[in-house]
Amino acid sequence: MLATPTAVPGRLPDGPGWRFEVKWDGVRVLADTTGDRLRLLGRNGRDAAVAYPELGVLAGVLPPGTVLDGEVVALRDGVPSFPALAERMHVRDRERAAALARRVPVSYLVFDVPVLAGTDLTSRPFTERRAALESLDLPEPVRLSPVYEDGSLLWQATSTQGLEGVVAKRATSRYQPGRRSADWVKAVHHRTRAAVVGGWRPESTGSGRLGALLLGAPDEDGGLRFLCRAGSGLAGGLARDLTAALAPLGQDPSPFAERLEPVDARGTVWVDPQVVVDVRYLTRTPSGRLRQPVIRGRRTDVGPDPWEAP
User: What SS3 class is residue 69?
Assistant: strand
Cβ count within 10 A of residue 94: 12
User: What SS3 class is residue 119?
Assistant: strand
Work out the angle at residue 94's Cα, subtended by the Cα atoms of residues 91 and 97, and round it to the nearest 5 degrees.
50
Within its chain, how far is the Cα of 79 from the centroid? 15
- Residue type for position 48: A
Which of 1, 12, 23, 31 is flagged as catalytic?
23
Q: How far apart are CA 196 and CA 216, in angstroms?
A: 5
Q: Check residue 6 and report its DSSP letter.
A: P
SS (H, E, C) 222-246: CCEEEEEEECCCCCHHHHHHHHHHH
Residue 12 contacts by C-beta under 8 Å, 6 or more apart in sequence? Answer: 6, 18, 20, 151, 152, 155, 166, 168, 185, 187
Q: For residue 212, which of 254, 255, 269 has the smallest C-alpha distance?
A: 269
Instruction: State the DSSP H helix or E strand holding residue 157, giving kind and residue range, or none if neither.
Output: helix 151-160
Residues of the chain by 3-state class (helix, strand, coil), percent to 5 = 20, 35, 45
- Whether the ω angle into residue 83 lies within 30 degrees of 0, i.e. cis, is no
Residue 169 a catalytic site member: no
Q: How far apart are CA 82 and CA 87, in angstroms?
A: 9
Catalytically annotated residues: 23
